[in-house]
Amino acid sequence: MTSSGVDKALSLVRNLPRISFNNLRDSVGKRKPRERCRGRYGGKTHGCGQKGSEQRQAYMRLGHGGGQNPFYMRFSKEPYYKGWHLQREYLPISLHRIQMLIDTGRLNPEEPIDVTQICNTKLFKLDPRKKQYGFQITDEGADCFDAKINLEVQYAPEHVIAAVEKNGGIITTAFYDAMSLQAAVDPEAFFNRGVPIPKRMLPPHDALVQYSDPKQRGYLADPDKIAEERFI
Amino acid sequence: MTDKIKTKIPWNPYFNPKLPLNPTVGPSELYTNVEEVKVDWKNIERLFPQQTVPIPPVKETYPSGWVPPKGSSLDCPYHVKRSRNHMLPVYFVNRTVKTQRGGWSYTQILHIEGDIWALEKDLKDYLEEYHQQFVPSQVHELSRWIRFKEDHVNIINSWLIEKGF
């Protein structure tokens, strides 16, 4: 029986041992030892060329381009991190999670639920030093939400406001600046420092609009307008 | 070589309980009278967290869908204990491995007591019947956990609640 190349290949696959580092090696000539600059043909300039900045080892920097406008300077740069230090992060908490915490007794619905109470459950890590400015409530679990609470967070969308007020609760969005947030997140550590309670600063310009908006139940908004919005 | 352990002794009496808080220096006639004001500390005490996880209150139904553990039957050779936060110890772990092998994800069940192999068999049969597919599993007898490949968290949660864990 004549065996074709395919049969031979298949028999190899069947009979040869499993490939591992023990039975692999580079093909001949792949790795050549480095040739040292010695002797008649390696000597004299030793691979450095003739005179000039190259032999004198006075190389130009990478990308220089010989004096013309270098490639990396011909185009404008992309402002990837512009305003990054001003960006605020609000940690998300779902309504379902809040309901779960109330059910299991971690949060008391009779007391106002704000940043301090949420952090006191020790289930959320809020670090003001990482430009985290508070919590935002997501609307996951808005259908099953069934608790009358006084909630104060830093941002809440329309659905969440509707869900909370449907059950007769109150929701406000309030701003805490970094120093007062540091005190609010861990009051025990703050009192141990013995520092006077800092005055809560007003929000920055880009957030003033949000916190003065009665539709978002901002704490700076007119209470009459908020009452009107609740009625709607 | 001896390691020198540096211990900072707080000099401030507010931090060092061994130092007197208000040390009297000089004759007592020079000191003015002190009047203790009665303050209601309730508003400040409510800012402090609880030291232990509270026991969940007993209700008929919980709107969030949380189910407390009712006792499982005594015939059951295994038991799955709740976590310290009264939740079922079923977790989905999604590991992204930054090589050509890609990531791997699994569902892990912790705090298993009793016959761990019996639990693994029951769960595996249930999952394979549910998915009509082979489900790889791993049992760690020493650490008392079981892993199933891919995400079965909700299925396993409902199965455990049915059993009463």
The DSSP annotation for A153-182 comes to ESB--HHHHHHHHHTT-EEEE----HHHHH
Residues of chain A with Cβ-Cβ distance to B64 below 8 Å are: 96, 99-100, 102-103, 141, 144
The residue of A94, A95, A100, A140 whose CB has the most chain B CBs within 10 angstroms, and thus the best one to mutate to test that interface, is A100
Count CB-CB contacts under 10 A for residue A20.
7
Which residues share a beta bridge with A121? none
Q: Band the pLDDT of B1: cuts 50, 70, 90.
A: very low
Q: Band the pLDDT of A152: cuts 50, 70, 90.
A: very high
State the Cα–Cα distance between residues A47 and A80, nearest whole angstrom: 43
ipTM greater than 0.85, yes or no? no
Mean pLDDT value of segment A36-54 = 90
Amino acid, single-letter form, for residue A217: R
| Residue A200: per-residue pLDDT | 95
| Residue A173: per-residue pLDDT | 96
Provide the whole-model pTM.
0.73
| Residue B124: per-residue pLDDT | 97
* Cβ pair A150, B80 in contact under 8 A: no
| Residue B30: per-residue pLDDT | 81
Mean pLDDT value of segment A68-97 = 94
> pLDDT: is B74 or A136 the higher one?
A136
Query: φ, ψ for residue B14 (rounded to 5)?
Result: -70, -25
State the Cα–Cα distance between residues A136 and A89, nearest whole angstrom: 9
Q: Is the pLDDT of residue B24 over 80?
A: no
Nearest of A104, A131, A134 to residue A119 by alpha carbon: A134
Mean pLDDT value of segment A30-59 = 91
Nearest CA in chain A to B66: A100
Mean pLDDT value of segment A19-42 = 92
Q: Is the pLDDT of residue A201 over 70?
A: yes
State the Cα–Cα distance between residues B85 and B105, nearest whole angstrom: 24
Q: Could you tell me the CA-to-CA distances from A177 to A134, A200, B101 in Å, in that order?
A: 9, 6, 45
| Residue B133: per-residue pLDDT | 95
* Cβ pair A160, A140 in contact under 8 A: no
Nearest of B112, B113, B93 to residue B103 by alpha carbon: B93
Q: Band the pLDDT of A87: cuts 50, 70, 90.
A: very high
| Residue B138: per-residue pLDDT | 97
Q: Which of A71-85, A170-184, B41-55, B98-112 has the lowest mean pLDDT?
A: B98-112
Instruction: Please indicate whether, in this complex, the C-beta atoms of A104 and B63 are within 8 angstroms of each other.
Output: no
| Residue B99: per-residue pLDDT | 67
Q: Which of A45-54, A78-87, A124-133, B95-104 has the lowest mean pLDDT?
A: B95-104
Nearest of B70, B62, B49 to residue A106 by alpha carbon: B49
Mean pLDDT value of segment A81-104 = 94
Residue range B75-84, pLDDT digits in tens: 899 999 999 9
State the Cα–Cα distance between residues A3 and A7, nearest whole angstrom: 6
Nearest of A197, A107, A193 to residue B50 by alpha carbon: A107
Interface of B to A at Cβ within 8 Å reads 14, 44, 46-50, 53-57, 59, 62-66, 85-86
Nearest CA in chain B to A115: B47
A188 touching B, CB under 8 A?
Answer: yes
A195 touching B, CB under 8 A?
Answer: no
Mean pLDDT of chain B: 88
Residue range B93-112, pLDDT digits in tens: 998 877 667 788 999 999 99
8-state DSSP, A155:
B
A123 touching B, CB under 8 A?
Answer: yes
Q: Which two tokens stand for residue A140?
A: 């996951």
Q: Which two tokens stand for residue A88?
A: 């605020």
Distance, in angstroms, between A192 CA and closest chain B CA? 9
